[in-house]
């Protein structure tokens, strides 16, 4: 299972890095390119901060926080989490997304964002989707475990 976790993490990381490379080589900064989905656009942006440009003036702090977050998730995975398939997928998504953004910040000083959704106030990337999707999976898994434990207590 651990080998599969590494491979899944690497696949998610590759998807993120390949899409960022595509965006940087194809799109123009500040431009807006339509897609086949009417509310989805490609729009290249270099983000030196975190979500919504938070801490943009503190790139070293952002890099450090990114590294700490990745380390904490890896530690929790190794130390505490059950080794079920869905926990691995959720963790792989978060770790891959975190590493993808960390690699951008480390080597470029910014994250490559390029996905724009009409009505959503920020431009984001695949790593951001991976991180949020992994977090949703973890919330679902924790909620499921909580309700199973509550049900056992009533019996």
Q: What is the chain's Cα-based Rg?
A: 17
For the CA atoms of 34, 122, 68, 82, the dihedral, rounded to the nearest 10 degrees, stands at -70
Q: Which listed residue (17, 69, 87, 113) is catalytic?
A: 113
Q: Which are the contacts of 44, defined by CB distance < 8 A and separation ≥ 6? A: 23, 24, 27, 28, 29, 30, 31, 112, 113, 114
Q: Which listed residue (127, 128, 130, 131) is catalytic?
A: 128
User: Each residue's pLDDT tens digit in the chain (155 positions)?
Assistant: 678 888 999 999 999 999 999 999 999 998 888 898 999 999 999 988 776 666 666 777 878 888 888 888 788 776 666 667 888 888 899 999 999 999 998 999 889 999 999 999 889 999 999 999 999 998 898 888 766 776 677 76
Q: Which are the contacts of 100, defined by CB distance < 8 A and separation ≥ 6? A: 13, 16, 17, 20, 125, 126, 127, 130
What are the boundaries of each domain within the chain?
2-140
Q: What is the pLDDT of residues 5-26, one digit of tens each?
A: 889 999 999 999 999 999 999 9
For residue 145, indicate whether it is catalytic.
Answer: no
Exposed, middle or buried: residue 129 (CB in 10 Å: 0-12, 13-18, 19+)?
A: middle
Residue 144 and residue 39: Cα distance in Å, rounded?
A: 33
For residue 16, indicate whether it is catalytic.
Answer: no
**Whole-number pLDDT of residue 55:** 67
**Whole-number pLDDT of residue 20:** 97
pTM of structure: 0.83
């Amino acid at each position: 299972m651990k080998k599969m976790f590494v491979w899944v993490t690497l696949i998610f990381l590759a998807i993120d890095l390949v899409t960022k490379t595509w965006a940087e080589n194809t799109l123009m900064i500040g431009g807006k390119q339509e897609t086949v989905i009417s509310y989805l656009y490609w729009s290249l942006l270099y983000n030196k901060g975190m979500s919504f440009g938070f801490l943009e003036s503190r790139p070293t702090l952002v890099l450090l926080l990114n590294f700490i977050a990745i380390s904490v998730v890896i530690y929790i995975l190794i130390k505490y989490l059950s080794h079920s398939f869905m926990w691995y997928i959720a963790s792989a998504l978060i770790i891959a997304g975190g590493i993808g953004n960390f690699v951008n910040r480390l080597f470029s000083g910014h994250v490559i964002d390029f996905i724009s959704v009409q009505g959503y106030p920020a431009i984001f990337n695949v790593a951001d989707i991976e991180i949020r999707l992994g977090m949703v999976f973890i919330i679902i898994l924790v909620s499921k475990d909580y309700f199973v434990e509550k049900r056992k207590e009533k019996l």
